[in-house]
Amino acid sequence: MQIENTKTNLDDLVFTDSTIKQLACFAWRSLPQNASPVAIAALLEAVTTTPDYPPYTAALAIALAHTNDWLGSLRWFERYLEMVPNHIEILCITAEIFLRLGKFEKSLIALKQCLALDPHNQHPSGRRARVLVKKGEKLLTQMAKS
């Protein structure tokens, strides 16, 4: 899963609380090599203290994805999309998480949104093909068991 495009340089952003900035920057520097519980706790504190600040929300979602906490990550990516609804990369990542959770229809819906925003973007098209293949594999497995 490619999440490099979602990075934001937190040092260039305006923060309302220097302690929260320090926590978020510490956690951000530890990604993606080390999504440690300390980094996740720091990001959770940042999101809790500043709930309407999209970069913290995205950073927490990314950190959770790095620990394979797909449900936790999805929760925060969906929260991010409430604040920034047309973010193609985050929609693609959300589609990937839905795929990993076996929620093929939701994955296809997210990819359809991506393609509606940018019909020439090849990432959603390629991911859509993967979702359809996985969906077909699951259907064949279920048919074989019956």
| Dihedral sign, Cα of residue 17, residue 19, residue 23, residue 25 | positive
Q: Are residues 1 and 47 in the same domain?
A: yes
CA pair distance 48, 104, nearest whole angstrom: 31
Instruction: State the residue range of the domain holding 13.
Output: 1-85
* Count: domains in the chain: 2
**First vs last C-alpha separation in the chain:** 33
Same domain, 79 and 99: no
Residues 103 and 128 occupy one common structural domain: yes
Task: Print pLDDT tens along the chain (146 aa).
Answer: 233 333 444 444 444 455 455 555 655 565 555 667 777 888 888 899 889 988 889 889 988 888 889 999 999 999 999 999 998 888 999 999 999 999 999 999 999 999 999 999 888 888 888 888 888 888 888 888 87
